[in-house]
Amino acid sequence: MTKRRTWTYFLPYGLWLALFVIAPVALIIYQSFFDLGHHFTLSNYSTYFQSATYLKMTANSVWYAFLITLFTGLISYPTAYFIHQLKHRQFWLLLVILPTWINILLKAYAFIGIFSQAGLANQFLTFIGIGPQQILFTNASFIFVATYIQIPFMILPIYNALDDLNPAFINASRDLGASNWQTFRHVIFPLTLPGVKAGIQAVFIPSLSLFMLTRLIGGNKVITLGTAIEEHFLTTMNWGMGSTIGVILIVAMIVVMLLTGDQKREGGTPR
């Protein structure tokens, strides 16, 4: 292929990289240095780091994302593990994926109904004698719904890791005298850790930014980084501050990626 032809092929993709990947990231960083009056300033950052509200909001957001990721992981690992042992596992896996095809807002909307004053959840609580509670617009309901939405995204990478695991490793472990639990602890879990890490990546970062859930389910009681950004951009029109929080979110994202990135030096299974 001639050099020029190659370039024409690359052009649309290259333009996309420049305009929609590099430029927006650069712009959000650039914007974070401007205040409401369009003056270049560091005040957004100084406000952020000096304001107890912002710092507390960030800490809260990280804490909630951590809880969501933790619960998702605790539920998803056994699910992936058990599905992997099933006979028609491809089919069951498809059933895990199917809910992700339902628009996330519809699922959130369903929970508005389920958690409402006279909803299914409260009917159940009344039935077992606890009596109706305020469920909607609480932190717990936000965590519950977020976990619900994220579960498939955690199950998939863990399942794939289990599927990639050479069954000979399990046999070898049993052969060397390991019980089921020992085999799990020393062989299966460490070797499927990359799947767990991929799951954490897929769950933790979006959990920092789920603003529609905080609005619909959390009733604005939970403010995540995502909610704050949305509010600054679309409600208070303080794009500078919104961008600053965006930069914080990007930094958080990079930190998570570095913490959960696959360590190449461990070797892994040779291809």
Partner 1 sequence: MTQPIITLRNVTKRYGTHTILKNINLTLESGKFYTLLGPSGCGKTTILRAIAGFMTISEGDVLFAGKRINEVPANKRNVNTVFQDYALFPHMTVAENVAFGLTLKKVAKDEIAQRVAKALQLVQLADYGDRAISALSGGQQQRIAIARAIVMEPKVLLLDEPLSALDAKLRRQMQYELRDLQQRLGITFLFVTHDQEEALAMSDEIFVMNQGEVLQSGSPVDIYDEPINHFVADFIGESNILPAKMIADFQVAFGGHQFECADAGIPDNEPVEVVIRPEDLTLTTRDQAKLTVTIDTQLFRGDYYEIAATDNLGNAWLIHSVNPAEDGETIGITFRPQDLHVMRFGEKEAEFDARLETYEELEGDNVDET
Partner 2 sequence: MKRRFANIYLIIVFAILYAPIIFLIAYSFSQGDTMTNFHGFTWRHYQTLFSDTRMLAIVANTLLIALLSALIATLIGTLGALSITRTTKRVTRESLLTLNNVLMVSPDVIIGASFLIFFTMLKIPLGFSTVLMSHIAFEIPIVVLMVLPRLREMSASLLDAAQDLGATTRQLLTHVIIPFISPGIFAGFFMALTYSLDDFAVTFFVTGNGFSTLSVEIYSRARQGINLEINALSGVMFLFSLLLVGGYYWIQQASQKRRQRKREVVS
Q: Which residues bind partner 1 (CB under 8 A)?
A: 166, 168-169, 171-179, 182, 186-187, 190-191, 266-270
- Burial class of residue 18 in the structure, from the number of CB atoms within 10 Å of its CB (0-12 exposed, 13-18 middle, 19+ buried): exposed
3-state secondary structure of 210: coil
- Burial class of residue 32 in the structure, from the number of CB atoms within 10 Å of its CB (0-12 exposed, 13-18 middle, 19+ buried): buried
Q: Is 118 in the site for partner 2 (CB under 8 A)?
A: yes
Tokens found for residue 23: 């430029």
Nearer to partner 1, 158 or 213 (CB): 158
We find the least distance from the C-beta atom of residue 97 to partner 1, in angstroms, to be 29
Question: Which residue, 59, 61, 79, 60, is CA-closest to 199?
Answer: 79
We find the least distance from the C-beta atom of residue 57 to partner 1, in angstroms, to be 39
Distance CA 9, CA 19 (A): 17
Query: Where do we find the tokens 């006979």?
Result: 87
| CB-based contacts of 126, cutoff 8 Å, min separation 6 | 132
Q: Indicate the helix (H) or strand (E) that contains 18.
A: none
Site residues for partner 2, window 143-182 (CB under 8 A)?
148, 151-152
- Residue 165 binds what, of partner 1, partner 2, none (CB under 5 to 8 Å, by partner type)? none
We find the least distance from the C-beta atom of residue 169 to partner 1, in angstroms, to be 5
Q: Find the binder of partner 2 among 73, 195, 199, 226 (CB under 8 A).
A: 226
Q: Which residue stretch of 45-53, 66-74, 157-165, 234-242 sits at the interface with partner 2 (rule: CB under 8 A)?
A: 234-242
We find the least distance from the C-beta atom of residue 251 to partner 2, in angstroms, to be 11
Q: Which residue stretch of 37-45, 49-57, 132-140, 237-245 sits at the interface with partner 2 (rule: CB under 8 A)?
A: 237-245
Tokens found for residue 256: 């998570």
Q: Is 219 in the site for partner 2 (CB under 8 A)?
A: no
Q: Is 63 in the site for partner 2 (CB under 8 A)?
A: no
Q: Which residue stretch of 14-22, 55-63, 159-167, 260-268 sits at the interface with partner 2 (rule: CB under 8 A)?
A: 14-22
- Residue 229 binds what, of partner 1, partner 2, none (CB under 5 to 8 Å, by partner type)? partner 2
Site residues for partner 2, window 179-198 (CB under 8 A)?
none
In terms of C-beta distances under 8 Å and separation of at least 24 residues, what long-range contacts does 186-194 make, across chains too?
Answer: 188/162, 191/161, 191/165, 192/158, 192/161, 192/162, 192/165, 193/161, 194/161, 194/262, 194/268
